[in-house]
Structure 1
Amino acid sequence: MTDDKRNVGSPDRDRINLGEDYEVQYWSKELRITPEKLRSVVEAVGPSVKAVREHLGA
């Protein structure tokens, strides 16, 4: 399921959605890791940005 671009509510920056290419690109750049590493970390600790950052030591 893709995001509805017409729904302009506040963004959910607490979770990483690997189903959206633009989110994978954004978080890979933000966390300075490859998309493959991002996917691996999210699979290990879940989609919580906090958990991903803690896992990476960021």
Structure 2
Amino acid sequence: MREENDMSPTSEIRIPQDDERIDVTDLKEVDYWTQWFGVSEERLRTAVASAGTVKDDLRIYLGLP
């Protein structure tokens, strides 16, 4: 029997509190932003290391519209 507070891996992805900056130290945010940008975690982390944490800067760096 599953408990009501079960935090299984299939839990819904949480929308970040700040939707203009990426916090790669928060794994839930990493999951959210990899899906948002359609990139792997490694690609997201590389982009953040190169372009910073601002969503629009990352979008440009990743070559997305």
Instruction: Provide TM-score, normalisation by structure 2.
Output: 0.71
Find out whether 1:28 has 2:37 as its counterpart: no
Unpaired segments ≥5 residues, structure 2: 1-16
- Greater helix percent: which structure? 1
Specify which structure has the bigger relative contact order, considering alpha-carbon pairs within 8 angstroms and separated by 6 or more residues: 1
Instruction: Return structure 1 stretches of 4+ with deviation > 4 angstroms.
Output: none
CA distance in 1, matches of 2:21, 2:41: 15
Computing the radius of gyration from Cα coordinates, the structure with the larger value is 2
The CA RMSD over aligned residues, in Å, is 0.6
Q: Percent identity?
A: 31
The equivalent residue for 2:6 is: none
Aligned residues: 48
* TM-score, length basis structure 1: 0.79
- In structure 1, distance between residues paired with 2:24 and 2:52: 11
